[in-house]
């Protein structure tokens, strides 16, 4: 592997990152075409159903006669199947590109086989250039296909003395106490645009009545999800006019898992789960079948303890605010060391990664 290969592959990764929040359930992919050490075309996958990065890069090449003597760099193995777009391997072979350098192989067995096909047609293929960096960028996509579940990101805020909330049980006259400031909230809304779905526990919805949408950032709303096993949330009325909870307002697509029979409404789908089986395997299997690649989870200590106990998490993002409650609802005792820590607004944000994800992060650093 040469330093030149790494330089061009890093450019692929930088381009690919522009697709975060727009391409799922597809991966983030960037492509660069190099002739005589000059870039003659580059592109990235801009959105689900749109042209792939390889197609974008080739479309930029002004002189197609240069392609047989050029190298195509791409951070993910070119697809070899007909989906919403034709196979990229067909285009590479049709244009006569002589060499292809990739970052990582495709974990999606339905789309794989691209490298073998290219090699069988005489194309020189080089693999594993910045492989760990490539896997890190597409950790959502890799987890989805390798573990058959969405990539799970836990998010909560706690005070300097370790509380996530005051003691509350009557939401109508007990407003939530903000721990972080507006800058932190904007960051959270940015995070929401980057994931396909957001899930909040039923207790959080009962107490806080969150909208779970995007307001403080530009981007699309994630799918709203909660688990309401006994159908209690449907009967809760809030506010002066005793209106239903905001998650039931039908403004954006919402999915509720419940053990009761409920009738679907516009933008409000109820999915019945069995009360006799563990909840989370049912929920994650259904989300996998829906092609939901990642979920941002906002909840309380009980919800997070369950997920961590069952090893159903990949990242945790924890805000440590400046407040001091003295008493209240204790934060989760998280038995891990943060791998990143940054100042955001009035808070510190600590980021944790599960062991196999953490390994990728260490190798990337």
* Catalytic positions: 54
Cβ neighbours of residue 242 closer than 8 Å, sequence gap 6 or more = none
Q: How far is CA 89 from CA 80, 130, 339, in A?
A: 6, 21, 38
Taking the C-alpha atoms of residue 153 and residue 353, their distance in angstroms, rounded to an integer, is: 9
Complete DSSP assignment for 48-117: TTS--HHHHHHHH-S-GGGGGG-EEEEEEPPP-S-SSS--HHHHHHHHT--EEEEEE----TTT--HHHH
Taking the C-alpha atoms of residue 216 and residue 201, their distance in angstroms, rounded to an integer, is: 22
Vertex 328, ends 325 and 329: CA angle to 5°?
A: 125
Taking the C-alpha atoms of residue 184 and residue 321, their distance in angstroms, rounded to an integer, is: 10
Taking the C-alpha atoms of residue 21 and residue 189, their distance in angstroms, rounded to an integer, is: 12
Q: Helices 3-16 and 53-60 meet at what angle, rounded to 10?
A: 110
Other beta carbons within 10 angstroms of residue 80's beta carbon come to 19
Cβ neighbours of residue 64 closer than 8 Å, sequence gap 6 or more = 95
Biggest alpha carbon–alpha carbon distance for the chain: 72
By CB atoms closer than 10 A (0-12, 13-18, 19+), residue 49 is exposed
Taking the C-alpha atoms of residue 76 and residue 228, their distance in angstroms, rounded to an integer, is: 39
CA atoms within 13 A on the CB side of 216: 14
Other beta carbons within 10 angstroms of residue 225's beta carbon come to 24
């Amino acid at each position: 592997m040469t330093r030149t290969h790494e330089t061009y592959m890093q450019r692929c990764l930088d381009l690919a990152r522009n697709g975060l929040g727009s391409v799922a359930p597809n991966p983030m992919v960037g492509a660069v075409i190099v002739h005589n050490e000059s870039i003659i075309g580059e592109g990235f996958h801009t959105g689900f159903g749109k042209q792939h990065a390889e197609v974008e890069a080739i479309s930029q090449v002004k002189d197609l006669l240069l392609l047989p003597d050029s190298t195509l760099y791409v951070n993910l193995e070119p697809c070899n199947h007909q989906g919403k777009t034709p196979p990229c391997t067909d285009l590479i072979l049709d244009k006569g590109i002589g060499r292809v350098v990739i970052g990582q192989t495709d974990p999606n067995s339905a789309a794989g086989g691209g490298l073998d096909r290219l090699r069988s047609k005489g194309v020189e293929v080089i693999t594993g250039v910045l492989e760990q960096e490539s896997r890190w960028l597409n950790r959502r996509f890799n987890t989805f296909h390798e573990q058959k579940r969405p990539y799970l990101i836990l998010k909560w805020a706690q005070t300097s003395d370790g509380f996530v909330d005051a003691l509350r049980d009557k939401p109508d006259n007990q407003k939530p106490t903000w721990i972080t400031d507006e800058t932190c909230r904007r960051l959270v809304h940015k995070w929401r645009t980057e994931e396909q779905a957001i899930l909040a526990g039923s207790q959080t919805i009962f107490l806080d009545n969150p909208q779970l949408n995007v307001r403080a950032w530009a981007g699309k709303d994630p799918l709203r999800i909660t688990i309401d096993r006994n159908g209690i949330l449907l009967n809760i009325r809030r506010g002066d006019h005793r209106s239903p909870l905001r998650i039931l307002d039908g403004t954006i697509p919402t999915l509720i898992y419940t053990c009761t029979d409920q009738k679907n409404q516009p933008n409000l789908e109820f999915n019945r789960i069995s009360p006799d089986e563990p909840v989370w395997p049912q929920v994650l299997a259904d989300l996998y079948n829906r092609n939901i690649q990642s979920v941002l989870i906002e909840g309380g200590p009980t919800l997070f303890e369950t997920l961590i106990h069952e090893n159903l998490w990949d990242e945790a993002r924890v805000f440590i605010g400046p407040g001091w409650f003295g008493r209240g609802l204790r934060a989760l005792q998280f038995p891990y060391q943060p791998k990143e820590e940054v100042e955001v607004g009035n808070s510190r944000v600590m980021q944790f990664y599960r062991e196999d994800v953490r390994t990728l992060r260490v190798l990337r650093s």
